[in-house]
C-alpha cells in the first residue's frame, strides 16, 4: 500500500517535471547495460539426489586456485554438524539437514551465489564492479572494486565475502559461475565433478521446464516449488527439494527484484535531474526575493 | 541587540585539562588508525561477512553527516531566507559542517578495503547505485564547504600576510591574490550557498535510501520506502539543535556570554520541525502496521522506543516551553536530546536494525572501532578550538560604534 502511493507520487512528480520542461519524449535509459539474454545459462540443483560427498567443494577450490586439503579429506562428514556458509576461502559449501522421519533421508544442500537475474550487488556497487553477463553469471571486476562492501549489505542471500584480514588489495569473493571455464566451453567445475548428477547445467528456460517436469513425474518425491524461478525476480541457480525450502534455511524472499524499490526512489529523486535543478531554482528565487525585500526596507529607513 | 557584533579570533591558552584528555583520546584513535592501515580491517574491527558495516559507517558516516546538518540549515536560514540576525551563527555552523564532513570523508576512506581507490567513483559511474549518489554528493559538498570557508581565511590574512624568512618577498603578491580571491568569492558566493543546500538535501535523503536495498535484512520498524524522507526531516530538525548545543559549549569554554536571544530564536523553530518528523515517523508506523513489533521485548523494540520518546517526544515538549527556550541550560539539554535522538536513529538504521539471514555471532564494535570513532570526534573538537582561536569565527560584542549593525561578510 505504501509502495503504491509512493509510486503514484513518483509518477505525479515525474509528470509534473515533464510538463514543466516539455521533455515528454526521449526517455533517458537509466538501466545498466546488463540486459538479460534469453539464452542465459543456469544450474538446476536437485537436492534429493545429493549425497553430500563435497567433491564440488574441492573442485571449486581447485578451479579457483584456492588452498585446499586433498580430495580424500572431503569424505569427513563431521563438518555437517554445524551449518557453514561460503566465505572468501570457499566459494561453495554443502550443508546437511537431518532426516525428519526414520524412513526418509537427510537432505544435502549445496550453497553458492545464486546469480540473480536482477542482482542487488550489480545495482548497489558504487563503481559498477559487478555485472550480469550474457551467459547468466554475475561476476566481479577486481580492478574497479574499492572495498566498500555495500554489495554484502545488499545481497539477499548473504553471499559476497570480503578478505577482512588483508591490508592491501582485499577482494570480494564469491562464486563466479566458473566464468573463465565456461568462456572456453568447459563446464563449471562443480557441475563437471558431481558424481550423482545433482547439478544440471543448461539454458535457464529449459531448466525451469525440466524442474517442473520432474515435479510432475514424481509429485510424492518433490516439494512443489522451484526455488529461484521467481524469487527476487528469478535466479540462474534453481533448486528442487523434498521439503519446504524454509526448513532447509533458504531465505524467505518475495518475487520482486532484489534491488527492490531503491532504484525507483533513486531515479525518482533524480528524474532527468529535474528535482535538484528545480530546487536550486526555487531556492535562488527565494534568496533573490528576500534580498530585494530587505534592501527595499533599508532604503525606506 | 544594540551591541555591534563582529567575528574575531579568540586568543586563549589552547591547553586546558579537557583539551589534554581530548588529545589523549585522539592519540589512541590515531594508533588504531595506523593499525588498521598496516594490518587490515579485520585486525582492528569486529566486522565479518555477516556484518559488513559497523560503527565506522553507522556512527562516523551516517550520524556524522546528519549532525553536520547545522551547516546547510543555518545557510538556508541566514542567507536564503535572509534573516540577518542569524548571520552570527552561520560561521560556527559552517566550521562544524566543514570539519564534520572532512571527518566523514576520512572515516569512509578508513572503512574502504581499498582506501587508495577512493577516487574510483569519479570516473567509474553506476547511476543505479545509491551509494554512488551519496558519495558524489558528499564529495562535491565538501568542496563547496571549503569554498564557503575561504572568505574567512582571506578575511584573516588580508593585510596581515607575513611569511617568515626569504618567503617574505612574496607577501605582497599573496596579499594581492587574497584580495582578488575575496572579491571574486564575494560576488559568486550565492551560487555555492544554494548549491550547498541542494546537495545537502540530496545526500541527507539518499543516506536513508542506502539501507532500502538491504530489504528484509533490516528490521521492519526501520525498513520503509520513505526512509529518505525520514532521513531528510531528521537532518533538518537536528541542524539548529546542533548549532545551539555547540554555541552554548563554545561560550562556556571561552568564557563568553551565550547568545541566548539568537539561540532561543533558533529553538522556536525546532519544535515544528520535530513535530513534522515525528508525524511522518508515526504515520509510517501506522500505515505499515509495524507497531505490532513493539509488543515484543527485544533490542530493536527498546531502541525504537528510546529513539522516539527520548529523542523526539521529550525534546519536542521541551522546545515548546518558552521558559526552557530562554535559559541556556534548558536549551542545551533539549538540543542535546535531539542530537542524541538522531544519533541513535542513524545507529539503529545501520547497525541495530541490520539482521543478517545467516547469523553466527552478533555484532558489537571492538575496542579499536570505538577508539577510532572517539578519536575522530576528539580531533574534531580540538580542531574546532584551534580554528576558533586562529580565525574570525565566533562573534563577540565590539566596543565603539560602526554604521552597520552586523558586519559579517560573505558567509
Could you tell me the CATH number of the domain that includes residue A164?
3.30.70.20
CB contact under 8 A, A287 and B111: no
- Separation of first and last alpha carbons in chain A: 56
Average pLDDT over every residue of A121-140:
94
The CA distance from B397 to B147, in Å, is: 27
Whether residue A180 sits in one domain with residue A48 = yes
- DSSP tag of B359: -
> Min CA distance, B66 vs chain A (Å)?
19
Residue A281 maps to a domain: yes
Q: Per-residue pLDDT tens for B343-373?
A: 999 999 999 999 999 998 899 999 999 999 9
Whether residue A292 sits in one domain with residue A235 = no
Average model confidence (pLDDT) across chain A: 86
Q: Are B9 and B389 in contact (CB under 8 A)?
A: yes
Residue A11 maps to a domain: no
Residues in chain A with CB shorter than 8 Å from the CB of B133 are 266, 270
CB contact under 8 A, B128 and A263: yes
Contact residues, A window 5-24, toward B, CB-based 8 Å cutoff: 6
Q: Per-residue pLDDT tens for B292-344?
A: 999 989 999 999 999 999 999 999 999 999 999 999 999 999 999 999 999 99
CB contact under 8 A, A2 and B284: yes
Residue A189 maps to a domain: yes
Beta bridge partners of B275: none
Q: Per-residue pLDDT tens for B136-178?
A: 999 999 999 999 999 999 988 888 888 887 888 888 888 888 9
All structural domains of chain B, each given as residue ranges with its CATH number in brackets, are 60-359 (1.20.1630)
Whether residue A281 sits in one domain with residue A208 = no
Residue of A nearest to B35 (CA): A167
Residue A33 maps to a domain: no
Residues in chain B with CB shorter than 8 Å from the CB of A83 are 358
* The pTM of the whole model exceeds 0.80: yes
Using a CB–CB cutoff of 8 Å, tell me whether A276 touches chain B: yes
Using a CB–CB cutoff of 8 Å, tell me whether A99 touches chain B: no
> Min CA distance, B106 vs chain A (Å)?
13
Average pLDDT over every residue of B223-230:
93
Mutate to test the interface with A, among B34, B45, B52, B368 (most CBs of A within 10 A): B52
> Min CA distance, A213 vs chain B (Å)?
31
Q: Per-residue pLDDT tens for A233-285?
A: 999 999 999 999 999 999 999 898 888 788 888 888 777 788 888 899 899 88
Q: Per-residue pLDDT tens for A151-160?
A: 999 999 999 9
Answer whether residue A203 shows pLDDT above 80: yes
Q: Specify the pLDDT at position A298.
A: 64
Structural domain total, chain A: 2
For A281, the domain range is: 270-301
Whether residue A214 sits in one domain with residue A81 = yes
CB contact under 8 A, A149 and B198: no
b/e per residue, B6-15, with b = 16+ CB within 10 A?
bbeebeeeee
Q: Per-residue pLDDT tens for A77-92?
A: 999 999 999 999 999 9
Amino acid at each position: 500500500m505504501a509502495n503504491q502511493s509512493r509510486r503514484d507520487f513518483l509518477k505525479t512528480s515525474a509528470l509534473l517535471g515533464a510538463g514543466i520542461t516539455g521533455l515528454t519524449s526521449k526517455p533517458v535509459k537509466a538501466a545498466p547495460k546488463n540486459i538479460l539474454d534469453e539464452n542465459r545459462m543456469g544450474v538446476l540443483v536437485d537436492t534429493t539426489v545429493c549425497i553430500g560427498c563435497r567433491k564440488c567443494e574441492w573442485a571449486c577450490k581447485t578451479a579457483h586456485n584456492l588452498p585446499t586439503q586433498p580430495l580424500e579429506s572431503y569424505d569427513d562428514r563431521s563438518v555437517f554438524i554445524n551449518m557453514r556458509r561460503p566465505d572468501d576461502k570457499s566459494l561453495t559449501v554443502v550443508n546437511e539437514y537431518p532426516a525428519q522421519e526414520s524412513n526418509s533421508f537427510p537432505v544435502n544442500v549445496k550453497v553458492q551465489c545464486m546469480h540473480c537475474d536482477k542482482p542487488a550487488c550489480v545495482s548497489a556497487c558504487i563503481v559498477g564492479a559487478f555485472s550480469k553477463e550474457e551467459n547468466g553469471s554475475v561476476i566481479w571486476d577486481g580492478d574497479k572494486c574499492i572495498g566498500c562492501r555495500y554489495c554484502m549489505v545488499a545481497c539477499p542471500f548473504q553471499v559476497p565475502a570480503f578478505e577482512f584480514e588483508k591490508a592491501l588489495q582485499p577482494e570480494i569473493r564469491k562464486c563466479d559461475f566458473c566464468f573463465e571455464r565456461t568462456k572456453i566451453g568447459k563446464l563449471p567445475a562443480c557441475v563437471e565433478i558431481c558424481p550423482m548428477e545433482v547439478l544440471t547445467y543448461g539454458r535457464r528456460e529449459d531448466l525451469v521446464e525440466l524442474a517442473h517436469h520432474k515435479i510432475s513425474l514424481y509429485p510424492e518425491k518433490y516439494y512443489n516449488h522451484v526455488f529461484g524461478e521467481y524469487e527476487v525476480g528469478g535466479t540462474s541457480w534453481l533448486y528442487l527439494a523434498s521439503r519446504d525450502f524454509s526448513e532447509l534455511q533458504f531465505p524467505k524472499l518475495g518475487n520482486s527484484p532484489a534491488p527492490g524499490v531503491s532504484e525507483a526512489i533513486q531515479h525518482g529523486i533524480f528524474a532527468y535531474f529535474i528535482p535538484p535543478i528545480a530546487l536550486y531554482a526555487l531556492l535562488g528565487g527565494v534568496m533573490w526575493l528576500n534580498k530585494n525585500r530587505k534592501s527595499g526596507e533599508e532604503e525606506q529607513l | 541587540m544594540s551591541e555591534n557584533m563582529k567575528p574575531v579570533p579568540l586568543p586563549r591558552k589552547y591547553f586546558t585539562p579537557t583539551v589534554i584528555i581530548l588529545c589523549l583520546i585522539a592519540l589512541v584513535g590515531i594508533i588504531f588508525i595506523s593499525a588498521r592501515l598496516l594490518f587490515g580491517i579485520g585486525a582492528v574491527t569486529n566486522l565479518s561477512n555477516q556484518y559488513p558495516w559497523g560503527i565506522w559507517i553507522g556512527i562516523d558516516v551516517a550520524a556524522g553527516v546528519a549532525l553536520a546538518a547545522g551547516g546547510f540549515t543555518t545557510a538556508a536560514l541566514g542567507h536564503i531566507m535572509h534573516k540577518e540576525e542569524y548571520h552570527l551563527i552561520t560561521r560556527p555552523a559552517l566550521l562544524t559542517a566543514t570539519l564534520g564532513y572532512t571527518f566523514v570523508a576520512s572515516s569512509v576512506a578508513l572503512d574502504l578495503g581499498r582506501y587508495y581507490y577512493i577516487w574510483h567513483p569519479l570516473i567509474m559511474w553506476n547511476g543505479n547505485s545509491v551509494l554512488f549518489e551519496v558519495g558524489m554528493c558528499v564529495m562535491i559538498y565538501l568542496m563547496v564547504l571549503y569554498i564557503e570557508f575561504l572568505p574567512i581565511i582571506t578575511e584573516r590574512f588580508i593585510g596581515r600576510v607575513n611569511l617568515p624568512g626569504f618567503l617574505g618577498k612574496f607577501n605582497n603578491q599573496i596579499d594581492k591574490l587574497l584580495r582578488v580571491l575575496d572579491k571574486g568569492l564575494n560576488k559568486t558566493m550565492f551560487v555555492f550557498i544554494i548549491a550547498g543546500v541542494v546537495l545537502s538535501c540530496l545526500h541527507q535523503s539518499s543516506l536513508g535510501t542506502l539501507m532500502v536495498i538491504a530489504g528484509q535484512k533490516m528490521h521492519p520498524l526501520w525498513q520503509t520506502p520513505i526512509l529518505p524522507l525520514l532521513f531528510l526531516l531528521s537532518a533538518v530538525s537536528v541542524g539548529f539543535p546542533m548549532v545551539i548545543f555547540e554555541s552554548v559549549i563554545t561560550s562556556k569554554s571561552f568564557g563568553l556570554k551565550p547568545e541566548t536571544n539568537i539561540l532561543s530564536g533558533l529553538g522556536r523553530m525546532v519544535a515544528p520541525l520535530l513535530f513534522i518528523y515525528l508525524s511522518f515517523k508515526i504515520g509510517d508506523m501506522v500505515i505499515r502496521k509495524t507497531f505490532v513489533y513493539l509488543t515484543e521485548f527485544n533490542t530493536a523494540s527498546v531502541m525504537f522506543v528510546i529513539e522516539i520518546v527520548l529523542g523526539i517526544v521529550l525534546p519536542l515538549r521541551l522546545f515548546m516551553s518558552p521558559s526552557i527556550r530562554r535559559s541556556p541550560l534548558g536549551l542545551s539539554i533539549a538540543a542535546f536530546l535531539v542530537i542524541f535522538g538522531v544519533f541513535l536513529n542513524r545507529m539503529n538504521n545501520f547497525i541495530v536494525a541490520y539482521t543478517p539471514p545467516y547469523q553466527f555471532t552478533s555484532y558489537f564494535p571492538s575496542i579499536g572501532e570505538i577508539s577510532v570513532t572517539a578519536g575522530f570526534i576528539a580531533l574534531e573538537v580540538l580542531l574546532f578550538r584551534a580554528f576558533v582561536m586562529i580565525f574570525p569565527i565566533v562573534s563577540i560584542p565590539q566596543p565603539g560604534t560602526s554604521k552597520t549593525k552586523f558586519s559579517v561578510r560573505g558567509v
